[in-house]
């Protein structure tokens, strides 16, 4: 996966920033290692890539499959708003599991990646994909008293002296 010192440094930088930069053609193999790290920590995977080798535009991708959560409706609308705010000229594709903001100017990619990570982790923008289970109810059965343990019905009367 990350064999060279350069690759290890890029992965360390991605862990610090919260997003992986795979704009260079030789860095696609790092995405697997970074995704595995995010999966172990239950973090969303965010990476930025260029559209082509000499393009002045790039794209941001967010993948929620590593978290066990999905984006809520408010999270999806915030992601759409972020894409438009940062100048996505063609499309912002948002679903509960992933986001793709396309045709973002290269000089704004890292700032958008930072904001996407913050928005994806914000409370209220994600919910668990597993339904909440109620606590398992175990019925408690009262044991029936045996003949030797029965309480007698004798009344004790006190006499006044």
- Residue numbers in the chain where pLDDT is lower than 50: none
Per-residue confidence (pLDDT) for residue 99, from 0 to 100 = 93
Q: Which residues contact 43 (CB under 8 A, 6 or more apart)?
A: 18, 66, 67, 121
* Structure confidence by residue, pLDDT tens digits, 63-84: 999 998 999 999 999 999 998 8
Per-residue confidence (pLDDT) for residue 135, from 0 to 100 = 66
pTM exceeding the 0.95 threshold for the entire prediction? no
Per-residue confidence (pLDDT) for residue 155, from 0 to 100 = 56
Instruction: Decide if 46 contacts 116 (C-beta within 8 A).
Output: yes
- 115, with CB counted inside 10 A (0-12, 13-18, 19+), is middle
Q: Which residues are 69's β-sheet partners?
A: 128
Per-residue confidence (pLDDT) for residue 42, from 0 to 100 = 92
Fold of 5-130: Diaminopimelate Epimerase; Chain A, domain 1 (3.10.310)
Per-residue confidence (pLDDT) for residue 132, from 0 to 100 = 73
Q: Return the beta strands (E) in 9-125 as ranges.
A: 20-21, 45-50, 57-63, 69-71, 92-94, 98-105
* Structure confidence by residue, pLDDT tens digits, 5-23: 888 888 898 898 889 888 8
Per-residue confidence (pLDDT) for residue 146, from 0 to 100 = 63
């Amino acid at each position: 996966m990350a064999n060279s010192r350069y690759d290890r440094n890029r992965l360390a930088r991605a862990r610090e920033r919260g997003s992986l930069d795979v704009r260079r053609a030789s860095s696609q193999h790092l995405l697997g290692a970074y995704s595995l790290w995010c999966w172990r920590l239950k973090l969303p995977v965010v990476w930025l890539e260029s559209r082509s080798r000499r393009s002045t535009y790039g794209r941001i991708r967010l993948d929620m499959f590593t978290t066990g959560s999905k984006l809520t409706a408010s999270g999806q609308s915030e992601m759409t708003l972020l894409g438009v705010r940062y100048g996505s000229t063609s499309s912002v594709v948002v679903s509960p599991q992933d986001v793709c903001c396309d045709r973002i100017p290269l000089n704004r990619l890292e700032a958008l990646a930072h904001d996407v990570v913050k928005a994806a982790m914000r409370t209220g923008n994600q919910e668990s994909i597993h339904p909440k289970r109620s606590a398992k109810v175990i019925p408690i059965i009262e044991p029936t008293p045996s003949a030797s343990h029965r309480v007698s019905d004798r009344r004790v009367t006190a006499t006044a002296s």
